[in-house]
Amino acid sequence: MGRLFGTDGVRGVANADLTAELALGLSVAAAHVLAEAGTFEGHRPTAVVGRDPRASGEFLEAAVVAGLASAGVDVLRVGVLPTPAVAYLTGALGADLGVMLSASHNAMPDNGVKFFARGGHKLADELEDRIETVYEQHRTGEPWARPTGAGVGRVTDYAEGFDRYVAHLIAVLPNRLDGLKVVLDEAHGAASRVSPEAFARAGAEVITIGADPDGLNINDGCGSTHLDLLKAAVVEHGADLGIAHDGDADRCLAVDATGAEVDGDQILAVLALAMREAGQLRKDTVVGTVMSNLGFKIAMEREGIQLVQTAVGDRYVLESMKAEGFALGGEQSGHVIVLDHATTGDGTLTGLMLAARVAATGRTLAELAGVMQRLPQLLINVPDVDKSRVGTSPELAAAVAEAERELGSTGRVLLRQSGTEPLVRVMVEAADIDQARAVAERLADVVKSALG
């Protein structure tokens, strides 16, 4: 069996890869593994279960709830809420486990199961591995030990989760948003009610688009992966800014009053300066990834803020933040983690904090985001090569060294192996897009000849 868990839970086409049987079996296995690990010791276990609005989430939620209850876990069913809301409620309610059913920014036919440990933190890799092992053992015939009578789990709808999460978001905001007009694109996803409610309670005038989920339209031409509708709406309504989420609202991208995109690097730059001013940016450090734009690094150096860069993936950003005690980190994609207030990326919180900075300073988002100049970044995927040799080819090393000499301090080269395909990603940044393209194409040719 290939590894079920990826970097963000178990994900696949619902009812094909991710079946009701798999969701139920994983839930039972998770309950048994956490019991083995002593998580449930001395008390009756509780789990928080939430989902995004995908049609498949309805039957998958039923399977997960059935699996947990059959294993003796009481379930608080919070319904359609963002991933970070389920993580927050898992911690706030003292639950032993959280389960979110979502495939985030993926297309509607996909879905996923993501587990949170006590406190709302990502489940440790070794526990995920153990859940897979136990699931497989029982799938192939070994019977489960099942409670009966009063030992079975009870299932309760926890409607208060919505208000409790919104109240948390408002409580951690540094200032109100009175006087701001904001357009919100909810991607017909999990934040379609939460985000407009939070922004309105914080004092903003709110216009919503993409906030009518019907189970089939999630991420469909809207949200953080399709910004054109938001750009047009911000300009049409004369709004101060626009905020776009993905399907489970763990990401946030923004649009300024002119309709220009403000990406995750720019959002991090704005929040880093705001948090340092408030004395909240621990060690004057922000965490990004190796894909963070060079312009972000240059801006942070100029402002006296250190940038720590990790491998690509929010899990690596979070690991670095927790290990070193940093307060802010994230990715270009808009997955921003404010660790004092959230255990995972929270798109609604990020959008609120960005809007709060605009309100507090009286400056436009374009002015604030202008702290960094986004350098042109060109990415070429080179397929059908031996990606394992990317770090050992003398020919390739010489070509990279020559490219770095040519680009100097205002450019950068990054070669990465794909994690899932037989290809190498060639990324080049330069002050001039034509120079970036020329260098990237030259390096792509060397990758083909040296590793083909």
What confidence tens digit (pLDDT) does each residue in 236-258 have?
A: 999 999 999 999 999 999 999 99
User: Could you give the CA distance from residue 172 to residue 349 in angstroms, rounded to a whole number?
Assistant: 9
Q: So what's the pLDDT on residue 388?
A: 82
Determine what percent of the chain is predicted with pLDDT higher than 70: 99
User: CA-CA distance, 240 to 377, in Å (whole number)?
Assistant: 27
| DSSP assignment letter at 153 | P
Write down the H helix ranges in 173-263.
194-201, 228-237
Whole-angstrom distance, CA of residue 291 vs CA of residue 265: 10
To the nearest whole percent, how much of the chain has pLDDT over 90?
84
CATH annotation of 175-369: 3.40.120.10
What pLDDT shows up at residue 420?
65
- Whether 212 has a binding-site annotation, put simply, is no
Give the lowest-confidence range in 65-74, 186-195, 201-210, 437-446.
437-446
Domain ranges of the chain: 10-161, 175-369, 377-451
For residue 250, say whether it is annotated as part of any ligand binding site: yes
Find the mean pLDDT for residues 328-355: 97
442 burial (CB, 10 Å; 0-12 / 13-18 / 19+) is: middle
Third-level CATH fold of 377-451: TATA-Binding Protein (3.30.310)
Residue 104 assigned as binding residue? yes
First to last CA, the chain: 30
Instruction: Please check whether residue 115 is in contact with residue 47, taking contact to mean a CB–CB distance below 8 angstroms.
Output: no
Q: Is 10-161's fold the same as 175-369's?
A: yes
**How large is the average pLDDT for residues 88-114?**
97
- Amino acid letter at 157? D
pLDDT of residue 74: 98
Q: What is the pLDDT of residues 294-339, one digit of tens each?
A: 999 999 999 999 999 998 888 899 999 999 999 999 999 999 999 9
Q: How many residues does the chain have?
A: 452
Q: Is 8 annotated as a binding residue?
A: no
Task: Count Cβ atoms below 10 Å from residue 264 Cβ, excluding itself.
Answer: 27
pLDDT of residue 219: 96
Question: Which one is the CATH code of 10-161: 3.30.365.10, 3.40.50.300, 3.40.120.10, 3.40.50.1100?
Answer: 3.40.120.10
Residue matched to tokens 């990606």: 387
Residue 217, judged by CB atoms within 10 A of its CB (0-12, 13-18, 19+), counts as: middle
Rounded CA-CA distance 225/252 in Å is 10
Q: Transcribe 88-128 into DSSP letters.
A: HHHHHTT-SEEEEE--TTS-TTEEEEEEEETTSPBPPHHHH
Distance CA 57, CA 72 (A): 22
- CA torsion sign for 358, 223, 377, 259 is negative
- What is the pLDDT averaged over residues 352-379? 96
- Residue 334: the pLDDT is 95
Average pLDDT score, the chain: 94
pLDDT band at 419 (very low <50, low <70, confident <90, very high): low
Query: Mean pLDDT lowest for which of 5-9, 91-95, 125-129, 373-377?
Result: 5-9
Mind telling me the catalytic residues? 104
The pTM of this model reads: 0.92
**Distance, CA of 23 to CA of 139 (rounded, Å):** 12
